[in-house]
């Protein structure tokens, strides 16, 4: 059953504020107090303990990391309920919240970069690509993990970010052939730097809450190290 997340700790203004004028999320800062900016985009479960932990890990690695709460405070661990919650989030509303998060980070006193990186998982992977396509030069690094859902763009002509994808060969939600087609489309339409990695694993192999039984610690660790190295190089 859906419940309230305990992890909201900041608010930020949203563009085009005729519907909802305030975004909410979880912000983590590095031990040094400042660093480059990264947005963390949730899976269809919401702003869960796992997403908070990913955000904290990025902060520990030196980033100012923000996980926007796209569900307005609600989380679930039930697949059917998560699917329903995702279906009720219009792609344009999620993109609006993420645009507000990017602007918030770029104006934040602790942020040292002139651009923002984005990393997201499942539904959040789709929103990573949507954010990069819509925000152009603001987003310098886009890291989708097995991106699916309503926000996956039809075109990538607006992408200026370098893209590093992490996809699974045994993913029943987004099969490998679709991922490879997406990789080719991004490369062809954007002209951006694109690299996709494919792992002998299932969907959500990075999620150590293991809600669908596909967590693979070895593959997760490899993908995470690749992601950190990529973000460090590209978010400046």
Assess contact for 143 and 118: CB atoms under 8 A: yes
Assess contact for 219 and 204: CB atoms under 8 A: no
Per-residue confidence band for 72, with pLDDT thresholds at 50, 70 and 90: very high
Per DSSP, the three-state class of 4 is strand
Mean pLDDT of the chain: 96
Per-residue confidence band for 129, with pLDDT thresholds at 50, 70 and 90: very high
94-118 pLDDT tens trace: 999 999 999 999 999 999 999 999 9
| Domain span holding position 212 | 3-234
- pTM confidence score: 0.97
193-209 pLDDT tens trace: 999 999 999 999 999 99
The domain that holds 224 is classified in CATH as 3.40.50.1820
Does 166 score more than 70 pLDDT?
yes
Burial tier of 107 (Cβ tally within 10 Å: 0-12, 13-18, 19+)? exposed
Domain count, the chain: 1
Determine the Cα–Cα distance for residues 76 and 46; give it in Å rounded to an integer.
7
Instruction: Give the pLDDT of residue 16.
Output: 77
């Amino acid at each position: 059953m859906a419940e309230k997340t305990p992890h909201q700790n900041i608010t930020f203004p949203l563009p085009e504020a005729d519907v909802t004028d305030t975004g909410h999320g979880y912000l983590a800062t590095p031990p040094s107090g400042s660093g480059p900016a990264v947005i963390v985009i949730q899976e269809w479960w919401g702003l869960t303990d796992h997403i908070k932990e990913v955000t904290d890990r990025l902060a520990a690695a030196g980033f100012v990391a923000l996980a926007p709460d796209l569900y307005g405070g609600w989380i679930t661990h039930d697949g059917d309920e998560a699917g329903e919650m995702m279906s009720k989030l219009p792609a344009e509303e999620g993109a609006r919240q993420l645009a507000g998060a990017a602007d918030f980070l770029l104006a934040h006193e602790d942020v040292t970069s002139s651009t923002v990186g984005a990393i997201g998982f499942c539904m959040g992977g789709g929103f990573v690509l949507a954010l990069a396509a819509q925000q152009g030069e603001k987003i310098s690094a886009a890291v989708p993990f097995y991106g699916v859902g309503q926000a996956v763009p039809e075109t990538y002509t607006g992408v200026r970010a370098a893209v590093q994808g992490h996809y699974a060969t045994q993913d029943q939600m987004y099969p490998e052939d679709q991922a490879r087609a997406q990789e080719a489309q991004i490369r062809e339409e954007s002209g951006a730097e694109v690299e996709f990695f494919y792992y002998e694993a299932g969907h959500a192999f990075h999620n150590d809450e293991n809600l669908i039984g596909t967590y693979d610690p070895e593959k997760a660790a490899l993908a995470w190290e690749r992601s950190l190295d990529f973000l460090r190089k590209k978010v400046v």
